[in-house]
A and B are shown apart, each in its own frame.
Chain A
Amino acid sequence: MKNKKSLILVILLTCCFGAVLYAVKEYNRKPESLETIKEDFAISAGQLIGQYSQEQKTADQKFLGKTILVKGKINSIDITDKKNITVVLGSDGEPSSIRCSIDTLYMDKLPALKEQDSVHLRGVCTGYIPDDMGLGADIILNRCYLTEKIK
């Protein structure tokens, strides 16, 4: 009888310890790195722009918050400061572009890039800013990693 009680106590304590350990781990969990994660969608820059230009709501339902591997040509590179680099995919004269904000943890590893380079970038889609300020429309990808650079 005494042995049974002790066993139950040990099981209960183990469960409690496990629960506390899980809670602490979950609380301290960092956002997952996109360097190794598998993307939800792989799509060309033109196709992604096309889907957003056609019907924003449907595109948002499909892509918002999802990890996307986007393939396209660099139109420009915006460097606001050392920790804020954005690679813009699209073409001159087009009203829409894809703005890929590079992950700060990846900045040091980012190879030299220039306009017209063909690249594959993986990032999280945070949505679409329509052209209601006269600046062109943009699809925004955050925490981007360069997965491939094609000459």
Chain B
Amino acid sequence: MMKKITLALAFLALFSGINAQDKFFTKSGKIKFDATEKNSPENIEAVNKTVTCVLDTKTGNFQFAVLMKGFEFERALMQEHFHENYMESDKYPKSEFRGIVANNNPDNYTKNGSYDVVVKGKLTVHGETKDIETKGKMIVQNGNIEATANFPVVLADYKIIIPQLVADKLAKTASVLVDCMLTPLK
């Protein structure tokens, strides 16, 4: 009986070990947000360097979460307006994406190379969830994966209201660049 339990536990440990090796993650990923209106002299850009991101190379499941207060601007006033007036970061402190790599191929992650991917899923920003689909890249190098994607976010889709006064400075569609260097989860 004891032998069977030990065997079962060993199998479970081995099985969970395999699962962990399929997962790659970071807690220091980067997201750049750019809502600069064309021809505007004012750059409305912010960066967040504390993105948590996980990829299951076996299933293609892909998720990231980002805390809104972690977006930093060069100018304090812009940062205050972003958090207080537009994103309401106290009310909606977190944004996240939950989706899947549609053309996932587990074999790609075992050898160095750059692979084009299509990512589909649900993006939640400002308390609103929308389906999105975007192209991205997975660059595999020495056992790590750099996941990058650049996609547009229509601010109105997420009920982010831009006052008329700054409408000529702020783009209606922001560009979001995700850049995460994923390492194996041990």
**Which residues from chain A sit less than 8 Å from chain B, CB to CB?**
26-32, 60, 64-65, 78, 80, 84, 86, 99, 101, 124-129, 133-135, 138, 140, 142-143
Contacts and interface: CB of A to CB of B under 8 A. Distances in A.
**Max chain B C-beta neighbours (<10 A), residue from A101, A128, A129:** A129
Contact of B72 (A27, A65, A80, A142): A142
A67 to B, nearest CB: 12
A126 B50 contact: yes
Interface in B12-63: 23, 25-28, 30, 49-50, 52, 54, 63
A135 B77 contact: no
B3 interface: no
Contacts of B184: none
B52 to A, nearest CB: 5
Contact of B93 (A64, A134, A138): A64
Contacts of B28: 78, 80, 84, 86, 101
Interface of B: 23, 25-28, 30, 49-50, 52, 54, 63, 65, 67-70, 72-77, 79, 83, 89-90, 93-94, 181, 185
B27 A27 contact: no
**Pairs of residues from A and B, 8 with the lowest C-beta to C-beta distance, nearest first:** A126-B69, A126-B70, A127-B67, A80-B28, A126-B67, A127-B93, A31-B76, A29-B76
A30 B78 CA distance: 10
B9 to A, nearest CB: 19
